[in-house]
Amino acid sequence: MPQFLLFCIGGVIGFLVDAGVLRLLISAFAANAYLARVFSFLCAATATWLFNRHNTFRGVRRYGLLGEWARYLAAMTGGFVVNYGTYALLYTFVEIVRTYPELGVAAGSVAGLVVNYASSRWWIYRRDA
């Protein structure tokens, strides 16, 4: 399967984790929707790292487990800025997103996709020529 398609499948898994954790935090614990999104993103980024490590970029290892995870989270920072910015803007200004914050998560996920793929492909899992 093409690498980018596998990365997108990982992204869907990440979206489900992100939206699920966010919904749980907001509904069950009355968490602040902006702060809860930071935590839900960290959970999602960890889930996508696990998927990508074992499927999308299988066999390419430049760092140990903890080092790879830390670099992956650092690499996702650029995508997170785009992702979270999109979410926060929509949550602040669009009524339906305040009711269904998962819509903001979805829009943010799409917005950060290219940044996250590029940083994964060419930094974390880069193959030396």
The predicted structure's pLDDT at residue 129: 53
Residues 6+ apart with CB under 8 A from 13: 47, 48, 51
Angle at 14 between CA 46 and CA 18, to 5 degrees: 90
The predicted structure's pLDDT at residue 1: 64
2: left (phi over 0), alpha (psi -120 to 50) or beta: beta
The predicted structure's pLDDT at residue 125: 77
The predicted structure's pLDDT at residue 60: 63
- Spatial separation of the C-alpha atoms in residues 63 and 120, rounded to whole Å: 13
Contact between 124 and 76 under an 8 Å Cβ cutoff? The reply is no
Enter the pTM of the model: 0.87
- Average pLDDT by stretches of 10, the chain with 129 residues: 89 96 98 98 95 86 86 87 96 98 96 85 72
- Spatial separation of the C-alpha atoms in residues 116 and 55, rounded to whole Å: 16
